[in-house]
């Protein structure tokens, strides 16, 4: 389900001394099956934007269209929308509450009013998709490890069978192994299940390895939107916004500055390695 965000503004506390324009004339569209990264400094408006994507917040002006239908239009089924656009908040494991993992994951689909059998089937598939083994289904969510809790919480959203999944800092606070697990789940959901994934992250290195397109927010505005590789070529502009480029890209651009003829549109460790080797070989 394609999403069109059309010139939206969002103002917090309008008309008071605390008035703050969180989103300012933001426009973009998302096609089915995209894998998108959303970056920006704290306070840049990226979380506010994420909340608009499933109708938890409404724009003060402009419109958001799902499948071509304005979600602000009369009689729009918000509940169905929230099933279709899943939002995984930061530290989602804080929202686990049921007696065991399986029941917790059933909570979402149960509230969609589905048959019990369908609810349980979805919960089963969702838990499998995030790599939680059968013998962990009936333990208390609080007895899971940190990484497992995070995955169980993601399963709770997946059980709603969303077409679009927005993950807000899904790796925050995890160890390197846990980060890798979560990111490979995101990859799987995108590659195998065809879900549109929007990944909010501060780690440019993670984004370089995973997403195809990057949206950059700054002071409530969408300042860059393009293929990951192209966006990361704007090192100066990104650094001026307090953001960075992936380490591999920074190394390449430094090498170029030192006179080694390397391409600077490469962003992953693997690409940088091959490019450096190529440049050194061709030198002789």
By the criterion CB under 8 A, which residues form the site for another protein?
A: 41-43, 145-147, 172-178, 202, 205, 242-244, 246-248, 250-251, 254-255, 258-260, 269-270, 272-273, 276-277, 280
Which single residue is written with the structure tokens 């480029």?
Answer: 245
Shortest Å, Cβ 162 to another protein: 26
Q: Which is nearer to another protein, 118 or 175 (CB)?
A: 175
Q: What is the DSSP string of 147-171?
A: HHHHHHHHHHHHTT--SEEEEESTT
Q: Which is nearer to another protein, 81 or 255 (CB)?
A: 255
Shortest Å, Cβ 50 to another protein: 15
Q: Which is nearer to another protein, 37 or 55 (CB)?
A: 37
73, 58 contact by CB (below 8 A): no
Task: Report the alpha-carbon angle 77-83-89, nearest 5.
Answer: 120
Q: Which is nearer to another protein, 114 or 238 (CB)?
A: 238
- Report helix, strand or coil for 85: strand
Shortest Å, Cβ 102 to another protein: 17
Which single residue is written with the structure tokens 């650094």?
Answer: 239
Q: How many residues does the chain have?
A: 284
Shortest Å, Cβ 273 to another protein: 5
Tokens of 231: 């966006």
């Amino acid at each position: 389900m394609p999403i069109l965000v059309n010139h939206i503004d969002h103002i917090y506390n309008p008309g008071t001394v605390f008035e703050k324009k969180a989103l300012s004339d933001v426009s973009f569209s998302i096609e089915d099956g995209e894998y998108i990264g959303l970056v920006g400094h704290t306070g840049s408006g990226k979380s506010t934007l994420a909340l608009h994507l499933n109708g938890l917040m409404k724009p003060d002006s402009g419109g958001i269209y799902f499948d071509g239908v304005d979600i602000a239009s009369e009689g729009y089924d918000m509940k169905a929308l929230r099933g279709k656009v899943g939002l995984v908040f930061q530290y989602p494991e804080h929202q686990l509450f049921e007696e065991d993992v399986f029941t917790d994951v059933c909570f979402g689909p149960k509230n969609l009013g589905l048959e019990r059998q369908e609810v349980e089937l979805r919960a089963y598939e969702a838990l499998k998709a995030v790599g939680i083994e059968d013998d962990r289904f009936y333990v208390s969510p609080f007895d899971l490890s940190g990484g497992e809790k995070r995955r169980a919480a993601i399963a709770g959203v997946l059980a709603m069978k969303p077409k679009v999944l927005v993950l807000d800092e899904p790796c925050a606070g995890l160890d390197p192994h846990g980060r890798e697990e979560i990111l490979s789940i995101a990859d799987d959901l995108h590659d195998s299940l065809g879900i549109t994934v929007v990944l909010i992250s501060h780690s440019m290195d993670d984004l370089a390895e995973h997403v195809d397109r990057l949206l950059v927010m700054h002071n409530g505005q969408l300042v860059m939107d393009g293929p990951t590789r192209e966006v990361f070529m704007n090192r100066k502009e990104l650094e001026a916004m307090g953001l960075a480029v992936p380490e591999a890209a920074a190394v390449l651009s430094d090498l170029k500055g030192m006179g080694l003829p390397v391409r600077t549109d490469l962003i992953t460790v693997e690409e940088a390695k091959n490019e450096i080797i190529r440049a050194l070989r061709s030198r002789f």
